[in-house]
Each structure stands twice: as C-alpha cells, then as structure tokens.
C-alpha cells in the first residue's frame, strides 16, 4: 500500500508541473482573447485595417508573459513539485513540448467550432510560453 502512494505522489510530481503550466496558459489564452477582441472592435469602430502581428514581437511577448506567469506561480507554489533534479531538467525539455501540443489542439478545436484562433493557440507560441514558465520555476523555486 505504501508503494502505491509513492507511485501516486511520483506521478503527481511529474504531471503537477504540466497541469500548472496548462492552467496558466489557459488563463493567458483567456486574457489574450479579450485583448484581441477589444483591439479588433476598436479597429472596426474606427474603420482601421487589422495589421498582422510581427512574429518576433509575438515571440518575445509570449516568452515574457510566460516568465511573468512563472513568477506568479512561484507565489502560489514556492517549491518545485518535482523533487528529483534530473526530472526537473526533463520537465524543462518535455513539458513545453506537451503544453505546445495542447495549445495547438485547443487552436484546432476552436477553429472547428468557428472561434477565432489567437497566436497562443499554435504549437510555437504555446511552447515559448511554457518554456519561459518552466525556466523561471526551475531557477527561482527554492
């Protein structure tokens, strides 16, 4: 029975960081969607054309926003959920890939139901956000 609880705690350590990053990405998605809608309607009302966002600026924006989310997550959970050092390093490598795939899936889903897809709903920008958050949590968690 004790081994069962150890296995459960081990899985919670691994998936806890992923779930935390996905929650913050969904919050960022919600905020970004509100900002995009506000800017869109402001442009419609003023009869201005929507210009595409520069990809370099968008990459920096989502990386900074991910770092901010990482800092906020440290306020909520000041310790890394993953205790083993090698798993923490693996978290930096694999969690952003999984989070990017999840955001891509969310973007595909939103496109199918007719919602507008924002940049965070792509693999690359979801990956950038999650990578920044994972790095901040890795370097600044006690």
Q: Is residue 37 very low, low, confident or very high in pLDDT (cuts 50, 70, 90)?
A: low
Question: For residue 17, what are the CA distances in angstroms to 12, 63, 79, 104?
Answer: 8, 18, 11, 19
End-to-end Cα distance, the chain: 31
Question: What is residue 131's predicted lDDT score, i.e. its pLDDT?
Answer: 95
Question: 6 pLDDT exceeds 80?
Answer: no
Question: What does the mean pLDDT of the chain come to?
Answer: 82
Give the Cα separation of 42 and 37 in Å (integer). Answer: 8
Give the Cα separation of 52 and 70 in Å (integer). Answer: 28
Question: For residue 28, what are the CA distances in angstroms to 41, 112, 131?
Answer: 20, 21, 14
CA torsion through residues 43, 62, 55, 107, sign: negative
Which whole number is the average pLDDT over 3-17?
78
Nearest to 20 by CA among 142, 129, 139: 129
pLDDT tens digits for range 85-141: 888 888 888 989 999 999 899 889 988 988 777 788 889 999 999 999 999 999 998
Tokens representing 119? Answer: 């940049």
Which whole number is the average pLDDT over 12-37?
79
* Confidence (pTM): 0.78
């Amino acid at each position: 029975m004790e081994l069962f609880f150890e296995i459960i705690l081990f899985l919670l350590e691994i998936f806890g960081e992923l779930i935390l990053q996905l929650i913050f990405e969904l919050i960022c998605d919600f905020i970004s969607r509100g900002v995009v809608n506000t800017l869109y309607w402001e442009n419609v009302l003023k009869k201005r054309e929507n210009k595409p966002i520069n990809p370099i600026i968008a990459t920096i924006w989502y990386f900074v926003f991910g770092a901010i989310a990482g800092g906020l997550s440290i306020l909520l959970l000041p310790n890394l959920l993953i205790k083993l050092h090698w798993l923490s390093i693996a978290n930096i490598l694999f969690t952003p890939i999984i989070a990017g795939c999840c955001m891509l899936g969310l973007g595909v889903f939103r496109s199918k139901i007719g919602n507008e897809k924002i940049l965070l709903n792509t693999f690359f920008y979801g990956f950038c956000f999650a990578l920044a958050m994972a790095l901040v949590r890795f370097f600044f968690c006690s």
